[in-house]
Amino acid sequence: MTFREFLGSFFKKPSKSVSGDVTSESGSYEELYTGAINAFAVFAVIDMVASLCAAAELKTYQNGKPFKGLEWHNLNIRPNVNQSATEFWKEAYSKLLYEGKLLIVPIGGQKIIADSFSVDEYALWENVFTGVTRGSFTFNKAFHSSEVFYIQYSNQKVKPVINDVLSVYSALYSEAANNYIRSGGSKGVIEVDTLPAGDPKLEEEYSKSLNKRMREFNRARDATLTLFQGMKYTELKGSGGGKEISDIKSIFDGAVTRAAQAFKVPPQLVLGEVSGINDAIDYMLTVCIDPLLNVVSEEFSGKEFTPEDYIAGNYIAADTTNIKHIDIFSLAPNIEKLISSAFANVDETRERAGLHPTGEDWAQVHFCTKNQEPVTNLNIMGGGEKS
């Protein structure tokens, strides 16, 4: 099942059901509610993580220095003819997080994300991938591990755990939703003047039929019921449902929180809370985003470069400075110290702050203020400089 099919399976429109002379939509909406909370909780977290990861730049290095060549363009601008880099990587990380594995096939200068595949794993030889498909197209060959990029999510067992946890919230959510439906729907009672008598079988069938009709009628939010002569219907007013709405929101937030924690995402980011957001983003970058980006960059570096090339400074690394917006004015004191201590030159500092390097020769020079001189150049006892 693809990630899109997974989401679509939860959001099918409920269909009307007709039983006897009762027409309603009972049951189907209950399934929709319980399925929707699972889908939204997981989707909201995965979509956030995938979007942040897709914003990172995969830098290519040559002899230890950043180099923008064809591979950089392929990774960051156009991986294939049908997808931009943002679309490509967002889909890739979504599949990796939900399905626990991601297969990317490089072919004809393009990189293609596989929708489905089978893998034969070996301990001492290369794994073999067969039945690789993308959309309606199936690759008519077997791929060895060295020919593809295969990435596995370190926490592959997270999905069944999430399903088990969210099933509890689904049950609670379903009960709260049913309480709201019962309190806000249109219902009533039927009074019958006489019951069929003399035939026990007829009385039993009549009772079963009436109970079935009323049960389906009561399950529905709005429904119609045909009345015969001798029957009287009295409508009962709903009680409002204010408490049920509060319960639904609380249960919903709880489900989203559990899903966020499973993927190492601070819950306040998914719930839209702004308090402590900077610390939450820093935490998420450290424990969630960076590990995902590292495993991808390591896979690409290991497959595209030999060990000798990698040691010589040819590799691919993720840069997350695009993820978090930087206020250069708030960074001014720190920028000054970085430059004045010779830790970084002007262009290096500009690049880390999200600005384009100047490319000027003077911006490549490292500066050091006088108070940063070595201790050996200072007259410590006299408190001044040596003559």
pLDDT tens digits along 283-294: 999 999 999 999
> How many whole angstroms separate alpha carbon 111 and alpha carbon 288?
25
Q: What percentage of the chain exceeds 70 in pLDDT? A: 65
Reported as half-sphere exposure (CB side, CA atoms, 13 A), residue 222 has a value of: 0
Tell me which of 155 and 254 has the higher pLDDT.
254
8 A C-beta contact, residue 101 and residue 70: no
Tell whether the model's pLDDT for residue 10 goes beyond 80.
no
In the chain, where does DSSP find H-type helix?
A: 3-10, 28-55, 70-76, 85-99, 158-184, 200-219, 242-262, 267-271, 277-284, 290-304, 307-311, 332-340, 346-352
Lowest average pLDDT, out of 17-26, 112-121, 267-276, 283-292, goes to: 17-26
Residue 185 has pLDDT above 70, yes or no: no
To the question of pTM greater than 0.75 for the whole model, the response is no
Given this model, what pLDDT does residue 75 score? Answer: 97
Calculate the average pLDDT of the chain. Answer: 78
Q: How many CB atoms lie within 10 A of CB 24?
A: 21
What average pLDDT does the segment 326-333 reach? 75
Output 364 or 369, whichever has higher pLDDT: 364
pLDDT band at 61 (very low <50, low <70, confident <90, very high): very high
pLDDT value of residue 200: 72
Per-residue pLDDT at 21: 42
State residue 181's pLDDT score.
61
What is the average per-residue pLDDT within 267-277? 85
**Which comes out higher in pLDDT, residue 190 or 57?**
57
pLDDT per residue over 62-101, tens digit each? 998 889 999 999 999 999 999 999 999 999 999 999 888 9
pLDDT at 346 over 80: yes
Residue 14 in this model has a pLDDT that exceeds 50: no
Q: What is the pLDDT of residue 180?
A: 64
Please say if the pLDDT value at position 164 is more than 70: no
Tokens of 52: 């942040």
